[in-house]
Chains A and B, each alone.
Chain A
């Protein structure tokens, strides 16, 4: 039985650890602290926790003032609300101003489940990746999440970290070393490369296992940093495998697949397929049912890999 951990639980615990180590770490939340798990920090450091109510624009603006005054603010809400409810604040007050604000969102993607389309952020990565100077990270499991939160706290500059609601299977052990901007090769392979982030990393590994039974050697890369993307790893995979499938819990427009496609198009075009949400909104349902319904499964990845290999010249 694979161990499962909710990345947002890890987020809450890591914030507390960071708070003990660094008095400049402060946390803001917009009436979602029991869900984003920032309440752990509030309990430990009430004077450094700022509950702003259901007011995401103000939360981002306050975070900017704190950052400009030397604090390291972590601002948290659901992925639909940041950047959705405060994109201009993130654009002008954070990104253009180059302020050291950490936006960590939870409940991204279809795996929110029963709350339905209004709560399923499938376009947030597109929005945030379009902003100059932003670091954008989607961790694949709880172990990576702890390291990502520490990495963005240490990094000077605007950061966006996207977490999901459910527990995720643990992929990494404690020897893993996350680095901002570095893809991690989880499995070697020469026939095709699957590049995934977040919730889709575990299905990518599952797909590669199945394909191995057909003697298809499939490389799997965890592309947790979407920006700055590991261009070298993408180009290397394109050259060495000649076929790429991306997998993400996001619209196909503007997310991981779009970014990888831009890099291959500019450097080394290869057949590509995007396993992503195809320009539709989600709906209510169980997370597993939704991933199935919208084609975000290992089965879809397997089919996509077979298809891109066929398109090789």
Chain B
């Protein structure tokens, strides 16, 4: 029987949820993110920092998973479609015990388990190889179909960037999930408003984004993606929707938590230098 538990010290607890103070966890994750990217000398801080509360809520409050048994068949699936934001996922997986924290220092190095973009064959706990945008929601649809065929109770959560809503495949997948009535699937769009070379509204306008998902047949929820209570409440609401999938449009700030990275397109894919790292860590103390 799977029951929520705050106890993470005992072995064999299928539900690896935790009551640890999430705000403190999020600060720690942000420090890990900027530190590992600074050490690597390259990487994507902006879209990693914007997704911290979303992924932390999933891994600390929602997902049924076993860090000691990453391929446990009944685990909930978290699909990281925005594979460039791998550092936030690596920080979370390390914190939850999928691999030693020291490995975070090896990000992007030759032979490392922590590849520049998420790679399912390299890293324990990574479900999908991503990095080429727009592919994750299709993968999540496939997982959700498999769960239904097996009459399994595990659920699928897919994290998309807003930028990858430019990709046609995202909308192919968005069209198919309601067709298959996948109420075991929740998509979350990290709507930080920026992409590699500028604001979404200038590169390729996405709005009205909620209406687009609604028109494709999804239940749509809109939240502040940095408000932990809203994130959890939206996911719980999404779990209750029957007969169709739900999407959570999470309004976020790119580079959240580091003043000079916030809403700064320069930090989409650039590492902080030593001085910037020091400043960032002070802000995140």
Identify which of A44-52, A108-116, A206-214 touches chain B: A44-52
A93 to B149 CA separation, bound complex (whole angstroms): 22
Identify which of B1-9, B20-28, B132-140, B207-215 touches chain A: B132-140
Chain B residues within 8 Å of A70, by CB: 73, 146, 150
Is A190 interfacial (CB 8 A cutoff)? Answer: no
Q: Which one, A47, A57, A92, contacts B131 given CB within 8 A?
A: A92
Decide if B149 touches A50 in the complex (CB within 8 Å): no
Question: What is the chain A residue whose CB lies nearest that of B148?
Answer: A47
- Closest Cβ–Cβ distance, residue A155 to chain B (whole Å): 18
8 A Cβ contacts from B169-216 to A: 169, 172-173, 175-176, 180
Decide if B139 touches A68 in the complex (CB within 8 Å): yes
**Residue interface mask A56-73, B partner, CB < 8 A = 1:** 011011111111111101
Is B35 interfacial (CB 8 A cutoff)? Answer: no
Chain B residues within 8 Å of A69, by CB: 77, 142-143, 146-147, 150
Question: Count of B residues near A, CB < 8 Å?
Answer: 35
Question: What is the chain B residue whose CB lies nearest that of A66?
Answer: B142
Interface-central residue, A52, A58, A98, by most chain B CB under 10 Å: A58
Q: In which size bucket is the chain A interface? A: 20 to 34
Is B119 interfacial (CB 8 A cutoff)? Answer: yes
Chain B residues within 8 Å of A67, by CB: 142
Given contacts A71-B149, A97-B128, contact A52 B142 (CB under 8 A): no
Is B127 interfacial (CB 8 A cutoff)? Answer: yes
Decide if B143 touches A65 in the complex (CB within 8 Å): yes
A50 to B145 CA separation, bound complex (whole angstroms): 9
Decide if A61 touches B143 in the complex (CB within 8 Å): no
- Closest Cβ–Cβ distance, residue A273 to chain B (whole Å): 39
Is B243 interfacial (CB 8 A cutoff)? Answer: no
Q: Which one, B119, B128, B129, B180, contacts A50 given CB within 8 A?
A: B180
Chain A residues within 8 Å of B150, by CB: 69-70
Chain A residues within 8 Å of B149, by CB: 26, 47-48, 71
Q: Which one, B119, B120, B121, B169, contacts A61 given CB within 8 A?
A: B169
Decide if B135 touches A93 in the complex (CB within 8 Å): yes
Decide if B145 touches A61 in the complex (CB within 8 Å): no
Is A89 interfacial (CB 8 A cutoff)? Answer: yes
Interface-central residue, A47, A66, A69, A96, by most chain B CB under 10 Å: A69
Is B144 interfacial (CB 8 A cutoff)? Answer: yes
Q: Which one, A57, A65, A71, A91, contacts B169 given CB within 8 A?
A: A57
A299 to B149 CA separation, bound complex (whole angstroms): 52
Chain A residues within 8 Å of B159, by CB: none
Q: Which one, B127, B131, B169, B173, contacts A68 given CB within 8 A?
A: B127
Chain A residues within 8 Å of B73, by CB: 70
Decide if A96 touches B142 in the complex (CB within 8 Å): no
Decide if B145 touches A58 in the complex (CB within 8 Å): no
Chain A residues within 8 Å of B145, by CB: 26, 50, 62, 65-66
Decide if A61 touches B129 in the complex (CB within 8 Å): no
- Closest Cβ–Cβ distance, residue A144 to chain B (whole Å): 30
Chain B residues within 8 Å of A97, by CB: 119-121, 128-129
